[in-house]
């Protein structure tokens, strides 16, 4: 599969305005920027298979050119009557098998890396509905914290969509670009950085699929079945994905937004969210904004000092 095809199949999104630091950019064709070890391997595997594809295509092109030049009617007026060539048939049977084996070995390693869950520190259950996601923090210390995440904005009316997203941006103290069209939710899935998270996936109605490209996560949500995978984000920020299994008329409008924060911020948020998730989110947005402001001030100070 080419890198363009993988981008379409795995990411499935084309945002209008996104911060590149979150793994995506306008009119992006390639894969999202990796923030996990699993996604590092996916990107390597994509480049590895692309290299094999390029070699095969160039080889076939060279054969076609050779045949056109060597065996055209002018150069070869008396065509060969050879019906078959045993050596060539053995080569074109064995060579594809060897190529597939070379591709299969790292492919199986990738599948194992995605599905073999290491020792985890927390568990989150994500349930797909038509057409939104519900999240439940199942660990005992979270006291059954759960919420639904609904897409911000209007999928059809651009002006109503902009107004709705601007209201959310003002509420969070961020720019409009940080509330991307068709990707932002009213509630983010909040997780701590550098933490192994076991992700349990289910569906309440039809088949959905939970895809978070930057984390290297893509797994089906099937009614009556509980699938599991995992991720470990190594950077803070807000990362986006979508349902990646056709599930009805609003399939394109059930995004996933994941906010990765420091462990200290997550501890404060989780404790407050058990009483009032809206208040907890406001406190978290303020803490993140303060952290960004401090980082920006430090960067400006370094720039000034360098001058």
pTM higher than the cut 0.85:
no
Clarify whether residues 99 and 229 are in a common domain: no
Q: Determine the pLDDT at residue 291.
A: 82
For residue 283, being part of any structural domain is answered with: yes
Q: Determine the pLDDT at residue 162.
A: 92
Clarify whether residues 177 and 236 are in a common domain: yes
For residue 13, being part of any structural domain is answered with: no
Q: Which residues of the chain have pLDDT under 50?
A: 1-20
Clarify whether residues 298 and 166 are in a common domain: yes
Q: Determine the pLDDT at residue 307.
A: 66
Q: Determine the pLDDT at residue 15.
A: 39
pLDDT digits (tens, 9 = 90+) for 84-138: 888 888 998 999 999 999 999 999 999 999 989 999 999 999 999 999 999 999 9
Q: Which of 60, 89, 115 is the last residue in one of the domains?
A: 115
Q: Determine the pLDDT at residue 124.
A: 96
Domain count, the chain: 2
Q: Which of 94, 115, 136 is the last residue in one of the domains?
A: 115
Q: Determine the pLDDT at residue 45.
A: 95
Instruction: Map the chain to HEC letters.
Output: CCHHHHHHHHCCCCCCCCCHHHCCCCCCCCCCCCCCHHHHHHHHHHHHHHHHHHHHHHHHHHHHHHHHHHCCCCCCCCCCCCCCCHHHHHHHHHHHHHHHHHHHHHHHHHHHHHHCCCCCCEEEEEEEECCEEEEEECCHHHCCCEEEECECCCCCCHHHHHHHHHHHHHHHCCCHHHCCCCCCECCCEEEECCCCEEEEEEECCCCEEEEEHHHCEEEEECECCCEEEEECCCCCEEEEEEECCCCCCCHHHCEEEEEEECHHHHHHHHHHHCCCHHHHHHHHHHHHHHHHHHHHHHHHHHHHHHC
Q: Determine the pLDDT at residue 219.
A: 94
Q: Containing domain of residue 107, as a range?
A: 37-115
For residue 192, being part of any structural domain is answered with: yes
For residue 19, being part of any structural domain is answered with: no
Q: What CATH number is associated with residue 107? A: 1.10.287.90
Q: Determine the pLDDT at residue 21.
A: 58
């Amino acid at each position: 599969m080419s890198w363009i095809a993988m981008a379409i199949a795995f990411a499935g999104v084309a945002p209008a305005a996104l911060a590149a630091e979150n793994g995506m950019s306008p009119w992006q064709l390639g894969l999202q920027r990796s923030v996990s070890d699993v996604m590092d391997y996916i990107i390597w595997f994509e480049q590895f298979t692309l290299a094999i594809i390029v070699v095969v295509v160039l080889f076939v092109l060279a054969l076609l050119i050779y045949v056109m030049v060597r065996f055209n009617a002018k150069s070869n007026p008396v065509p060969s009557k050879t019906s078959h060539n045993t050596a060539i048939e053995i080569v074109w049977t064995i060579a594809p098998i060897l190529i597939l084996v070379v591709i299969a070995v790292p492919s199986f390693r990738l599948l194992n890396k995605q599905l073999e869950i290491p020792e985890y520190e927390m568990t989150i259950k994500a349930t797909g509905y038509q057409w939104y996601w519900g999240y439940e923090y199942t660990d005992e210390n979270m006291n059954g914290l759960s919420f639904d995440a609904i897409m911000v904005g209007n999928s059809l009316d651009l002006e109503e969509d902009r107004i709705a997203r601007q209201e959310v941006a003002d509420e969070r103290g961020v720019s409009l670009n940080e509330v991307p069209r068709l990707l932002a939710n009213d509630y983010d899935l909040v997780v701590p950085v550098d933490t192994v998270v076991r992700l349990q996936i289910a569906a309440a109605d039809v088949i959905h699929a939970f895809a978070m490209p930057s984390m290297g996560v893509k797994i089906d949500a099937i009614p009556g079945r509980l699938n599991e995978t995992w991720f470990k984000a190594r950077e803070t920020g807000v990362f986006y994905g979508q349902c990646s299994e056709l599930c009805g008329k609003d399939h394109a409008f059930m995004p996933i937004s994941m906010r990765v924060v420091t462990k200290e911020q997550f501890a404060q948020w989780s404790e407050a969210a058990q009483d009032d998730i809206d208040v907890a989110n406001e406190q978290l947005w303020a803490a993140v904004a303060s952290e960004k402001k401090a980082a920006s001030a430090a960067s400006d100070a370094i720039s000034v000092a360098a001058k």
